[in-house]
Amino acid sequence: MESYAEPEASPVAPSLSAEEQEILRRAQHIADTVLLPRAEETDRASEPPRDNLRVLAEAGLLGITSPREFGGSAVSGACQRAFTETLTAACGTTWFLMTQHLGACGMFAGSQNPALRERHLRDMAAGRHLVGVAFGHLRRPGAMLRADAAPGGYVLNGVAPWVTGWPLLHGVVYGATLPDERHVYVYAPVDENAEAICSSRPLPLCAMNATATTEVCLRNLFVPESNWIKFSSREEMARGDTNGIAGATAPPLGCARGALRVLRTAAEKRPLPFLPATADALEAEIDACRSESLRWADGPKDVPEYKPGALRARAWAIELGVRAAHMAVAASSGAANSLDHPAQRLFREAMFYTVIAQTQDIMAATLSHLTREPGG
Ligand SMILES: Cc1cc2nc3c(=O)[nH]c(=O)nc-3n(C[C@H](O)[C@H](O)[C@H](O)COP(=O)(O)OP(=O)(O)OC[C@H]3O[C@@H](n4cnc5c(N)ncnc54)[C@H](O)[C@@H]3O)c2cc1C
């Protein structure tokens, strides 16, 4: 088996604090020494990679979106993006499992329910209490999960079509639609509600199969007021999606960096003059796409050029992730098709990054970016 685990320079942004740079160095070390060497094995496994998550938790990296008083490090958005690139360049499955939990931690941290935070956030930041999320369905036109007010809380009914990491989870944050069409986000522990919660078997997936993503059906699940997280709305969700268009380029860019590593390895093994030049060109394009994304992610959002510019950057990153992985396949020849080879894994992961947190605008921008004139 070939080794693709050369240590790699992390794209540490100079604006990051010393603590954030140290967090990124720790993440890079784990990526190089633990995640990457076993990434194909992780990808093919029938269970999610508990061990990888344990190593990340022991390094304090499951607390990066939690406040300090709860044992976290509350890093900046810039640090989170660099962190995401580092992990997705190594092992998409581990990153995706972790990022759902980090999102849940962020929601607990931002909730106006301090008692819920007190109860769980310390354990969540330490990785002792893993929490999934189920609210992507709220972007769909019709309500899939409904919540009705009941004495002392809410009753939830319907289907959450995607819940990643089910066998590992202690609880899930569900997003549901109220009768007045507002959204409510609540926390529900997994075990205490065995009667009302029914998970499918893990969905058979082409990419991220080992994340054990399931469809979860809720039947009269009572959630007490003490587990309320927040109210929101379709409009607020759309605003968050719009503001986050360009920040979410980190996963495909990380995937492109993983593909670049494969290209460099191929160039070392085969004295073909075009391989180093191709790798240099890809590296320059990844850097350019990152700069363009950050320009929109960190710039003002209330200017007319923001949304079209951010969508162009997102579509570019999505397409670049797939194209870079395709380059890694081409440069690795027939071996790329082996399930032991990183090129095919990255190719499938790039496909997945095309659709996560997809909105109609992002779908349109991606398709427009991919459409060519006949003969073009
Ligand atoms: C492997 C995997 C794991 C995932 N894990 C999670 C998870 O743990 N938690 C979670 O919350 N989500 C999860 N997701 C959801 C993920 O973020 C969604 O893929 C993404 O939001 C796109 O949604 P969808 O695939 O359900 O597509 P769609 O339902 O097709 O939605 C895509 C966009 O198209 C729009 N749209 C769809 N149909 C129509 C229509 N008829 N008219 C107008 N507009 C329409 C929607 O409004 C939406 O903006 C996961 C997805 C995958 C593939």
The arrangement of secondary structure in 131-232, i.e. its CATH architecture, is: Beta Barrel (2.40)
* Sign of the dihedral through C-alpha 67, 68, 71, 72: positive
Residue 199: name the closest of 207, 209, 191, 187 by CA: 191
Cβ–ligand 1 contact at 141 (below 6 Å): yes
**Cβ atoms of 339 and 289 closer than 8 Å:** no
Mutate to test the pocket of ligand 1, among 232, 355, 363, 366 (most ligand atoms within 8 A of CB): 355
Which residues are within 8 A (CB) of 38 and not within 5 positions of it... i.e. 6 or more apart?
Answer: 49, 52, 91
DSSP three-state, residue 75:
coil
356 CA closest ligand 1 atom index: 17
Query: Going by CA atoms, what residue is nearest to atom 28 of ligand 1?
Result: 140
- Residue by residue, pLDDT tens for the chain (376 residues) are 223 233 344 444 558 999 999 999 999 999 999 999 999 999 999 999 999 999 999 999 999 999 999 999 999 999 999 999 999 999 999 999 999 999 999 999 999 999 999 999 999 999 999 999 999 999 999 999 999 999 999 999 999 999 999 999 999 999 999 999 999 999 999 987 789 999 999 999 999 999 999 999 999 999 999 999 999 999 999 999 999 999 999 999 999 999 999 999 999 999 999 999 999 999 999 999 999 999 999 999 999 999 999 999 999 999 999 999 999 999 999 999 999 999 999 999 999 999 999 999 999 999 999 999 887 6
Ligand 1 atom 48, closest CA: 359
What pLDDT score does 132 carry?
Answer: 98
How far, CA to CA in Å, does 12 sit from each of 22, 42, 84? 10, 27, 12
Q: If you take atom 12 of ligand 1, which residue's CA is the nearest one?
A: 136
265 Cβ inside 6 Å of ligand 1: no
Q: What is the pLDDT of residue 266?
A: 97
Residue 7's pLDDT is what? 34
Domain residue spans of the chain: 18-125, 131-232, 236-370
143 CA to middle of ligand 1, Å? 13
Cα 115 to middle of ligand 1, angstroms:
31
- In short, whether 133's Cβ falls inside 6 Å of ligand 1 is yes
At the topology level of CATH, where does 236-370 sit? Butyryl-CoA Dehydrogenase, subunit A; domain 3 (1.20.140)
Fold for the domain defined by 18-125: Butyryl-Coa Dehydrogenase, subunit A; domain 1 (1.10.540)
User: For position 314, what pLDDT does the model report?
Assistant: 98
CA of 207 to the centre of ligand 1 (A): 15
